[in-house]
Amino acid sequence: MSAVCGCEDNERAVLSRRRLLAAGAGVAAGVAGATAGTSLAYAADPGYAGDVLVLVSLRGGFDGLSAVVPAGDPAYYAARPTIAVPKSQLIGGDAFFGLHPALAPLLPYWTGGQLAAVHAVGQPAPNRSHFSAMEELERAAPGTSIRSGWLNRMLGSVGSSDPFQAVAMGTAMPARVLGGPAPYVGVTAIDKMVLTGEQADRPIAATMTRLFEDAPAPLKATAGQLTSGLRQVARLRAKAYSPANGAAYPSGELGGALRDVARLIKTHGGLLSATVDTGDWDMHENLGVAAPGKRMYEQLTSFATALAAFAADLGPEHLRRVTVITISEFGRRVMQNGSGGLDHGYGNAVFVLGGNVKGGKVYGRWPGLTAAELRDGDLAVTTDYRSVIGEILRARCGVADLTGVFPGVTASGLGIVTAR
């Protein structure tokens, strides 16, 4: 997957490789194709009855104003004379908002009540640096000394110590959201997950089992968890997977990652959470009009097609226990620039998809787009993204106390999902 931007700070965001196990675990091993794009977390408690939380990170600064268009605000069209989406082309939405036409694959879920949006969402303070904004987005604890990622803290609240509770697949982009004491494994795809150097006549997993047979209990347990996890994945690889319900995933990393997430949701009951990265949203130039072949149109089409295939593949039976939420490090400027694009901004829109989402509408308080209502030229933030995720964690994932995940944050009262 290409870098989200050529900015110097974004180049610093690309790491070479992720650890297989957390520091101090005492076992280190390589996994073929280990990268950091898609992460899969397994619940320690087999009695976990919450939703599978799927976090889709739109890397590079997603333009929520193009995706969820405030057509009822005249300032939107004044600020974007050549790239605004005409009212006549909008789909879904309501009397004020409309969806970009490239999101048509998701329209059935919008009209069917499984897809919603929240607008004017963002971090507590503006941050236009890809590197630091992504770090703060995934750390989600401003004003504190906490360095772990919020999803890692959520995993810790479950009490799991299994290194296969989090499996990273897809790209070399680091997922700071998983950083912390809870261990995780990186792979590119289920079908490619093997120990580096593993061959039929050289079973590294078996060698590791023998190597740690007489080791202290903590080391022996960790090695056993590793080899057990690899056996689980081997069983998945041994059975070919075909998407259900006529779902057709698009080619590319996003479609492949979501296909693997659906595969695990349907075949591995312990799945707790998944994070999926998709980049190339940093459109400083040539964003284009709302027409096929134009940059934003094609990007939104790929996103919508992959997410719609994921929902179709799951079907109502599995979608009822899944909640998907999209996030991005920041939005884009309200006013287009001289290159027909949009520079780094602040407020944004997020999508929420799931069987228990109260969809078909846009949530949140709209701040307006006149000069007096903007935040240094950007869409103001009226809803903290952590409060939206917090509402989902509390209502759908059984996290009663958010303090350990999002310190100082109260769950939003948007009512965007039905509580369990």
Structure tokens of 262? Answer: 């659906």
CA dihedral of 398, 400, 405, 410, whole degrees rounded to 10: 120
Q: 86 or 223: which carries more pLDDT confidence? A: 86
pLDDT at 28 over 60: no
Q: How far does the chain reach from its first CA to its final CA, in angstroms?
A: 37
Whole-model pTM: value is 0.88
**H or E stretch covering 362:** strand 362-363
Amino acid in the structure at residue 217: A
Q: What is the pLDDT of residues 148-181, one digit of tens each?
A: 999 989 877 766 555 566 666 665 344 789 888 8
Going by DSSP bridges, is the β-strand pair 38-42/166-169 parallel, antiparallel, or unpaired?
A: antiparallel
Tokens 């994945």, located at residue: 233
Assigned token pair, 15: 């790491």
Radius of gyration of the chain (CA): 21
Contacts with 8 (C-beta within 8 Å, 6 or more apart), sequence order: none
pLDDT at 272: 85
Interhelix angle 253-267/295-319, rounded to 10 degrees, is 10
Residue among 22, 148, 48, 126 at smallest CA distance from 406: 148
CA distance 162 to 43: 9
Q: Give the amino acid at 245.
A: N
CA pair distance 131, 142, nearest whole angstrom = 15
Q: H or E segment at 42?
A: strand 38-42
Quote the CA–CA distance of 22 and 195 in Å, as a whole number.
Answer: 17
The per-residue pLDDT for range 203-255, each reduced to its tens digit, is 667 777 788 888 888 777 767 766 766 777 777 777 889 999 999 999 999 99
The count of C-alpha atoms lying within 13 angstroms of the C-alpha of 413, restricted to the half-sphere facing its C-beta, is 0
pLDDT in tens, 335-365: 999 999 999 999 999 999 999 999 999 999 9
Do residues 303 and 324 make contact, with C-beta atoms less than 8 angstroms apart?
Answer: no
